[in-house]
């Protein structure tokens, strides 16, 4: 037997340290991919035509988001509903302002906030008194697929009129006002807020009447994307009593819709901006009514996500948008792993010693079991001494190949001596 055994610590401990560092790196990579701590630096907001009210809202959002370090691209589309078709998981549009009339979409989107309401305004020339009088007439309702056209179809069916029984024109906005005053159409259906210039013009046009919706509760129950709303007498002009009486109408909710898998930090930034932009009370809204989660027509975030959206970290309130996300990642992700790695590296020698000690105990256990078999061989059937000797040799080979710290060398030598004694005993028994 050799007089000295070289220490295994000089090799094993560095190897263990390298393994610890490698596992730490893999852990951080996995956390980074799952957590996605860094939000995208840019955002595409989809809107309708360039002159639409949604374009103005998108510009207000862009201004505030860019102050937070998010570059915003506003992408107009021919129709207000078109952005919704480009909001799939791989779609270029990440956020859009969408009316609830399109809430039956199966796209992977969600309502981040209900930001307002748009009434379905029905204006008609005298002597038209109700929706039922529109059968066979001409209605300005914008293009096919627009919210105006969807709304007029719902109202006509509610009134018992086949939408094909009326003549639809594509007039909208100023063109619709002119068509109604010139007599080219008999009615105008316009989905807009109470602040719409088109609505104001039509309310003040002589010979034009704002029609109400009869059996409104039955309509909104059958069409969940519509909500009942009361337009009070004199709501627009108290002095001139405009409108001259209470009008029961319906409204659709305007919603900030985002891709379902959008980064949580970007959702939080959008929600903060929504409260800044839409906190002003409109003509027919209550104070604090919008933004909210009430009245959404698309799927909404679950309770856990809502809690995350509403609980911005201290870092998020103190630092710029992207800086805060990096800082949070380092504080909550990288730093704990680094601390754990430092502790493990500091205890690497201890771990090596513990592992070697456990291995020695295992070898001692195997040797005791083998010796117990030799003790019992006189009472039971004789052992195959050749096979037993092979087991002893194999055990010694495993012990000789161990790498262990110097403080365990004495036990290692002792184990070798016990193995040698066992081999001599087996050899004697084999020679009998």
Say if CB 99 and CB 147 are below 8 A apart.
Answer: yes
Say if CB 11 and CB 403 are below 8 A apart.
Answer: yes
- The whole-number pLDDT of residue 389 equals 80
Residue 261 CA to residue 346 CA, distance in Å, equals 41
- Among 234, 298, 230, 231, smallest CA distance to 260 is for 298
Q: What would the pLDDT profile of 15-45 be if each residue is shown by its tens digit?
A: 656 666 777 677 766 665 665 567 788 899 9
- The whole-number pLDDT of residue 211 equals 96
Helix pair 409-431, 348-376: axis angle to 10 deg:
20
Low-confidence residues in the chain, pLDDT < 50: 1-12
- The whole-number pLDDT of residue 178 equals 95
Q: What would the pLDDT profile of 188-197 be if each residue is shown by its tens digit?
A: 999 999 988 8
- Among 144, 154, 134, 130, smallest CA distance to 252 is for 154
Domains of the chain: 42-112+256-324 (3.40.190), 117-253 (3.40.190.10), 350-431 (no CATH)
- Among 337, 343, 350, 339, smallest CA distance to 12 is for 350
Q: What would the pLDDT profile of 328-347 be if each residue is shown by its tens digit?
A: 666 766 777 777 777 666 66
First to last CA, the chain: 27
Q: How many CA atoms are closer than 13 Å to the CA of 118, on its beta-carbon side? A: 24
């Amino acid at each position: 037997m050799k007089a000295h055994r070289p220490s295994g610590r000089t090799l094993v401990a560095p190897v263990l340290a390298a393994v610890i560092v490698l596992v730490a790196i893999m852990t951080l990579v996995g956390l980074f991919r799952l957590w996605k701590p860094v939000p995208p630096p840019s955002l595409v907001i989809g809107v309708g035509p360039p002159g639409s009210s949604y374009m103005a809202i998108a510009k207000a959002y862009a201004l505030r988001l860019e102050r937070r370090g998010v570059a915003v691209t506003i992408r107009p589309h021919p129709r207000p509903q078109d952005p919704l078709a480009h909001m799939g998981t791989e779609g270029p549009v990440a956020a859009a302002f969408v009316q609830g009339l399109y809430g039956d979409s199966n796209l992977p989107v969600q309502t981040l906030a209900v930001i307002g309401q748009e009434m379905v305004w029905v204006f008609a020339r005298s002597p038209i008194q109700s929706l039922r009088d529109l059968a066979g007439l001409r209605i300005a309702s914008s293009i096919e697929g627009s919210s105006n056209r969807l709304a007029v179809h719902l109202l006509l069916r509610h009134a018992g009129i086949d939408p094909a029984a009326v003549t639809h024109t594509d007039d909208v906005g100023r063109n619709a006002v002119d068509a109604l005053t010139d007599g080219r159409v008999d009615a105008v259906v316009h989905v807009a807020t109470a602040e719409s210039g088109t609505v104001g013009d039509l309310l003040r046009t002589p010979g034009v009447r704002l029609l109400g919706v009869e059996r409104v509760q039955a309509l909104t129950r059958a069409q969940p994307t519509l909500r009942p709303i009361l337009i009070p007498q004199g709501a627009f002009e108290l002095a001139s009593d405009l409108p001259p009486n209470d009008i029961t109408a319906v409204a659709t909710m305007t919603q900030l819709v985002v891709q379902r898998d959008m980064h949580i930090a970007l959702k939080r930034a959008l929600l903060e901006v929504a409260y800044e932009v839409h906190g002003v009370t409109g003509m027919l809204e209550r104070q604090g009514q919008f933004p909210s989660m009430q009245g959404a027509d698309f799927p909404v975030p679950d309770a856990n996500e809502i809690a995350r959206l509403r609980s911005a970290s201290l870092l998020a309130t103190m630092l710029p948008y992207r800086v805060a996300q990096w800082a949070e990642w380092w504080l909550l992700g990288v730093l704990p792993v680094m601390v754990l790695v430092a502790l493990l590296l500091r205890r690497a020698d201890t771990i090596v010693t513990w592992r070697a000690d456990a291995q020695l105990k295992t070898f001692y256990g195997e040797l005791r079991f083998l010796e117990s078999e030799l003790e019992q061989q006189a009472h039971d059937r004789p052992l195959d001494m050749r096979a037993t000797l092979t087991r002893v040799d194999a055990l010694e080979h495993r012990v000789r190949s161990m790498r262990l710290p110097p403080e365990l060398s004495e036990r290692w030598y002792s184990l070798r001596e016990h193995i040698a004694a066992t081999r001599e005993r087996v050899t004697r028994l084999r020679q009998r």
